[in-house]
Structure 1
Amino acid sequence: MTNPYKGSIRRAHRIKDEQGMKRSYLKASLAALGLVTLLAWLALIIVFYVAHQPWLAGVTLVLLGVATWIYISPRFYAWRYVVPGVMAAMIFIVLPMAYTLVIGFTNYSSSHLLPFQRSTEVLLNRTNSTGEGMAFTLHQDGNKYQFAFTSDDDKYYISEPSALNKEVRLKLQSVTTLPFAEDSALPLRKIIELEAPIKNVIAVTPEGNELRMSSMRRFSMMKPAFSRNADGTLTDNSSGKILKADMAGGYWKYPDGTNAEPGFRSYVGLDNYIQIFTEKRFLEPFGRVFTWTISFAALNTLFTFGIGILLATALNWDALKYRNFYRMMLFLPYAVPAFISIPVFRGLFNENLGEINMVLDMFFGVRPNWFSDATLARSMVLIVNTWLGYPYMMIISMGLIKAIPNELYEASALAGAGPLTNFFRITLPLIARPIAPLLIASFACNFNNLTLIALLTGGVPDYLDTSVPVGATDLLASYTYRIAFQDSGQNYALACAISSIVFLIVATLAIVNLRLFKVNSSNQ
């Protein structure tokens, strides 16, 4: 008797086999992906090490080892889903912030770009010409080149044919006459093309003197400009003066206090923070910018919330027709990216050709100096950012108002209350608590609104009584950016110190925000 379930059993086994094959393929694909990722990270570690970043390479290697152990060990199976997020937070948040904090304790700037060892090597590699030299011609021999030298006292020297690729030391041989035809020398155009590799050539005379290229037709005797002493100091070979490393100032210094360029990076402790709060040239602009930043963030949060909640209240009025159309139109400023809207407003507020000044001139006969007057420039910044930010507050307020029971408004209507009473006695008190964390978050976001200032005003109008670049509309973020990249000194360390202060302020606001959110959650 045949089994009626035989076909079903075969299909079940076939499906099971197919699922097993799919799982095997998936495991093999994940293993291959993991292997490729591992090799990529190992290559990155090698790149860090070759770039003379041993600490970064070591930390990356340790993190890679921990992540690999978690993924291959069954004991840490649950951690496999956490590792990507933790690694992303470490790479994109913790590491940049730590790097910024570290730079804030150094003198890193355009004058102190190199580490101490590299700065010392630059000085030791410098050479001075003694004025003695020889004219040269260059002759090509296949893929190699041969030099012919003529000294000032009509002595002749030739070199062996050599390729011009890396630094080459050519021993010169004294000859009575040059064994080359007059037309065999390469023209000046070819010498110019080969200038870079020719500069790597060191010609050594039979007497042991070293000559380097000093012009397109001449090699001159070069001597090291500096030499290292046994005690770690340097000697200026032209003057015989001793240079000592000033680790606090970041320069090799002569006995009279003159600095030898280039400077080097060094740790200066809290000097940058002390400069910010003690030196007048930094303290005054910092105080102005800090005050304006607080005012800007507070006023913008107030204006966006005020307009947003008023519009949300109006749009929740049941008797209002075409509410969906109004909602869509009022939402448009939030839908358009800021990097598009802000340049448009910059054109609208143009003092000469802007449409806003044209309209004001037509009706009132005035053309405000939006970018020249400090008060008007700040007003313009607030207007533009309020336009960009009110839709977010409007959407949040609409959602919170929807959650208020209608019975409260019905009871208020029976008591004879009007719209203003409903707004201030029912709507505003009930949404104040849940929206408070969002208002703090908005304040923190506006605190670091670099995009608005960079695209709209660039910080102008600038103050004329400060030595650092700062303007009336600069926020702390844009002020830091200008110190780091627009100031003549490009003081990266000072900018990082200011960034650290901003980070502490924003972190404090974040903690307050979390506390308020926790309180709201517990009360609900």
Structure 2
Amino acid sequence: MQLAHAGSPARKKSKWWQSDILKWLLVGLCSLVTGYLIVLMYAQGEYLFAILTLVLVSAGLYVFANRRAYAWRYVYPGIAGMGLFILFPLICTIAIAFTNYSSTNQLTFERAQSVLMQRQFQTGKTFTFNLYPTDNQHWQLQLTHPDSGQLLISEPFSLKTSETQTLKLGVENSPPVGERATLRVVTQNRQALNLIVAKLPEGGELRMSSLRQFSGTSPLYTLDKDGSTLIDNQTQIQYRPNPETGFYQAINADGSWAQDTLSPGFTVTTGWKNFLRVLNDEGIQKPFVSIFTWTIIFSVLTVIFTVAVGMVLACIVQWEALKGKAVYRVLLILPYAVPSFISILIFKGLFNQSFGEINLMLSALFGIKPAWFTDPFTAKSMILIVNTWLGYPYMMILCMGLLKAIPDDLYEASAMDGASPMQNFFRITFPLLIKPLTPLMIASFAFNFNNFVLIQLLTRGGPDMIGTTTPAGYTDLLVSYTYRIAFEGGGGQDFGLAAAIATLIFLLVGALAILNLKASKMNFD
């Protein structure tokens, strides 16, 4: 027994060392992998992602490797997730709002300059070319001289590479053995063929200029001594980076800016310009104010309609004299069980102006066919009808639960005083339901403030407004308006302006969240 007790601490110590070594091996492996990923992100110019990954990984290694931070192991995943999926996108959105980031200005200055420097223009004769397969999945390039008809053939090379290849050409009397590659093969390997530089026997370089031709090319732009000015080798026009517009822009003889610009542009900081555009540009200000007003009206009316319908139906299905209450409850809750996007698409078909069942019924009964998708007023009415249908079951379920909490003594006392059912509803039921529903009504308002799915699937914001700088529609909410600016802009996707509007939406919804918290606190107090 004494020997067994004497040996047990050694065994425990050995197991502790084994687990400790395994832990540090895992920590070291994780550090190496994440360190490699951070270096790759930094090398690709993704500085924010690299910094965020470095901070999160460093904090995670400290928390899980340090015994003193043991309690933080349960909190760290939540904090890391909040930082990664909430704070980081929010910070990026706000940062983009202060830039000219768009589909034409999404590169750094260095990257945009590099792209422009890689452009070539044709300077020499044009050679037709063919590809012939060789052994080991290699190919030979055959060029035909446009004047003498000589065959110039390269040594075997591989098309499975992403690096530039320089091929020396030699004069041959006959083409390579084998079947010539089809145009489909050339098209599939076009990216690799664009990286090939063919050197002629007498000197000179050729590059691929079309799917069947190689031509002599030269760099289109040359970098001046100052390291930033580009000179067009064809026209000798000078282009300088304009820090206000984010483009390389031509300059006149007197040094002033000309109209001609080069794409792609680069990202620059514009300060409060995007926010001021919302206030000063009439093409943005008018639709923004109109859409903001409609967003408020839509959210308020949706809450009023859904609460009113849900409350009335909850009172009806809770009525003791009503027979078959269970069946009615199931039927009335069914819209809540069907996915909203399916209901929206069904309603889109029902409201079709030419073939929809709703217009067919209205035409048969009243002789009218409302233009649900082309008239602004009827389009807004349609959206409110559909959203009320989607939202009332939730409010009805809440009201059914709250009705159970109202004491029956209140209704008995009211009946003794001779009160009517309507008086009972407005003096007892409604006051006792509306107070606990207030925080949920505020939350419903905030949700409908950003109800993107309904607008996108039902009307896509239409009918469109005329004479606006940015794409905007009469049924657009701020969130769908922001989406259209970011991804459907006719003059280029303006992510900077969209981010500025998204920041304003965040501030408004944040204020509603604070109001909701205060309302909840007042109700629970």
TM-score between the two structures when normalised by the length of structure 2: 0.86
Counterpart residue number, 1:230:
225
Counterpart residue number, 1:11:
none
Counterpart residue number, 1:509:
512
Q: 1:447 aligns with which of 449, 452, 460?
A: 449
What is the 5 A alignment of 1:16-95? 45=38, 48-49=41-42, 51-95=44-88
Greater shift in the superposed pair: 484-493 or 284-293: 484-493
Q: Distance in 2 between matches of 1:473 and 1:37?
A: 50
- Displacement of 1:78 in angstroms is 2.6
Measured at CA, do residues 140 and 356 of structure 1 come closer, stay the same or move farther in structure 2, by a change above 3 Å? closer
Q: 1:279 aligns with which of 273, 278, 281?
A: 281
Counterpart residue number, 1:254:
250
* 1:136–1:219 Cα contact (<8 Å) kept: yes
Measured at CA, do residues 159 and 396 of structure 1 come closer, stay the same or move farther in structure 2, by a change above 3 Å? same
Counterpart residue number, 1:202:
197
Q: 1:167 aligns with which of 164, 167, 171?
A: 164
- Displacement of 1:139 in angstroms is 6.0
Q: 1:478 aligns with which of 456, 480, 501?
A: 480
Partner deviation per Cα, 1:151-202 (whole Å, 9 max, x = no partner): 56649685661413431123456xxxx3332575864637836554333221
Measured at CA, do residues 186 and 221 of structure 1 come closer, stay the same or move farther in structure 2, by a change above 3 Å? farther
* 1:137–1:185 Cα contact (<8 Å) kept: no
- Displacement of 1:34 in angstroms is 7.7
- Displacement of 1:339 in angstroms is 0.8
The answer to whether structure 1 residue 213 and structure 2 residue 208 are counterparts is: yes
Counterpart residue number, 1:311:
313
Q: 1:192 aligns with which of 165, 186, 198?
A: 186
Q: Distance in 1 between matches of 2:182 and 2:319?
A: 82
The answer to whether structure 1 residue 106 and structure 2 residue 99 are counterparts is: yes
* 1:100–1:496 Cα contact (<8 Å) kept: yes
Greater shift in the superposed pair: 332-341 or 158-167: 158-167
| Partner amino acid, structure 1, of 2:385 | I
Measured at CA, do residues 54 and 432 of structure 1 come closer, stay the same or move farther in structure 2, by a change above 3 Å? same
* 1:289–1:476 Cα contact (<8 Å) kept: yes
Measured at CA, do residues 31 and 195 of structure 1 come closer, stay the same or move farther in structure 2, by a change above 3 Å? same
- Displacement of 1:219 in angstroms is 3.2
Q: Tell me, what secondary structure is at the counterpart of 1:130?
A: strand
Any unmatched runs of 5+ in structure 1?
1-19
Measured at CA, do residues 34 and 357 of structure 1 come closer, stay the same or move farther in structure 2, by a change above 3 Å? farther
- Displacement of 1:254 in angstroms is 0.6
Counterpart residue number, 1:345:
347
Q: Distance in 2 between matches of 1:411 and 1:324?
A: 28
Q: Tell me, what secondary structure is at the counterpart of 1:239?
A: coil
- Displacement of 1:304 in angstroms is 0.7
Q: Tell me, what secondary structure is at the counterpart of 1:129?
A: strand
- Displacement of 1:330 in angstroms is 1.3
The answer to whether structure 1 residue 417 and structure 2 residue 419 are counterparts is: yes
| Partner amino acid, structure 2, of 1:517 | S
| Partner amino acid, structure 2, of 1:519 | M
* 1:146–1:158 Cα contact (<8 Å) kept: no
Greater shift in the superposed pair: 442-451 or 219-228: 219-228
Partner deviation per Cα, 1:16-38 (whole Å, 9 max, x = no partner): xxxx9xx99xx99x979987987
* 1:148–1:156 Cα contact (<8 Å) kept: no
Measured at CA, do residues 344 and 201 of structure 1 come closer, stay the same or move farther in structure 2, by a change above 3 Å? same
Measured at CA, do residues 129 and 398 of structure 1 come closer, stay the same or move farther in structure 2, by a change above 3 Å? same
What is the 5 A alignment of 1:349-498? 349-488=351-490, 489-498=492-501
* 2:151–2:175 Cα contact (<8 Å) kept: no
| Partner amino acid, structure 2, of 1:211 | L
Q: Distance in 1 between matches of 2:212 and 2:70?
A: 71
Counterpart residue number, 1:8:
none
Q: Distance in 1 between matches of 2:34 and 2:191?
A: 36
* 2:127–2:213 Cα contact (<8 Å) kept: yes
Q: Distance in 2 between matches of 1:84 and 1:98?
A: 20
- Displacement of 1:123 in angstroms is 0.7
Q: Tell me, what secondary structure is at the counterpart of 1:401?
A: helix
Q: Distance in 1 between matches of 2:317 and 2:32?
A: 57
Q: Distance in 1 between matches of 2:76 and 2:26?
A: 13
Counterpart residue number, 2:108:
115
Measured at CA, do residues 487 and 75 of structure 1 come closer, stay the same or move farther in structure 2, by a change above 3 Å? same
Q: Distance in 1 between matches of 2:351 and 2:292?
A: 26
- Displacement of 1:289 in angstroms is 0.7
Counterpart residue number, 2:503:
500
- Displacement of 1:311 in angstroms is 1.7
- Displacement of 1:41 in angstroms is 5.5
Greater shift in the superposed pair: 72-81 or 39-48: 39-48
Greater shift in the superposed pair: 479-488 or 65-74: 65-74
- Displacement of 1:364 in angstroms is 1.6
* 2:140–2:176 Cα contact (<8 Å) kept: no
Counterpart residue number, 2:333:
331
| Partner amino acid, structure 2, of 1:442 | S
Q: Distance in 2 between matches of 1:313 and 1:416?
A: 20
Percent sequence identity is 43
Partner deviation per Cα, 1:12-68 (whole Å, 9 max, x = no partner): xxxxxxxx9xx99xx99x979987987876675466345431331222122112122
Q: Tell me, what secondary structure is at the counterpart of 2:123?
A: strand
* 2:151–2:172 Cα contact (<8 Å) kept: no
Partner deviation per Cα, 1:307-355 (whole Å, 9 max, x = no partner): 1112222233333332222222211111111011111111111111111
Any unmatched runs of 5+ in structure 2?
1-11, 252-257
Q: Distance in 2 between matches of 1:192 and 1:484?
A: 36
Greater shift in the superposed pair: 327-336 or 283-292: 327-336
Greater shift in the superposed pair: 445-454 or 224-233: 224-233
Q: Distance in 1 between matches of 2:320 and 2:147?
A: 105
Greater shift in the superposed pair: 368-377 or 505-514: 368-377
Measured at CA, do residues 310 and 216 of structure 1 come closer, stay the same or move farther in structure 2, by a change above 3 Å? closer
| Partner amino acid, structure 1, of 2:337 | A
Q: Tell me, what secondary structure is at the counterpart of 1:245?
A: strand
* 1:277–1:283 Cα contact (<8 Å) kept: yes
| Number of aligned residues | 494
- Give the root-mean-square deviation of aligned CA atoms: 3.0
Partner deviation per Cα, 1:385-424 (whole Å, 9 max, x = no partner): 0111111111112222222222222222222222222222
| Partner amino acid, structure 1, of 2:445 | F
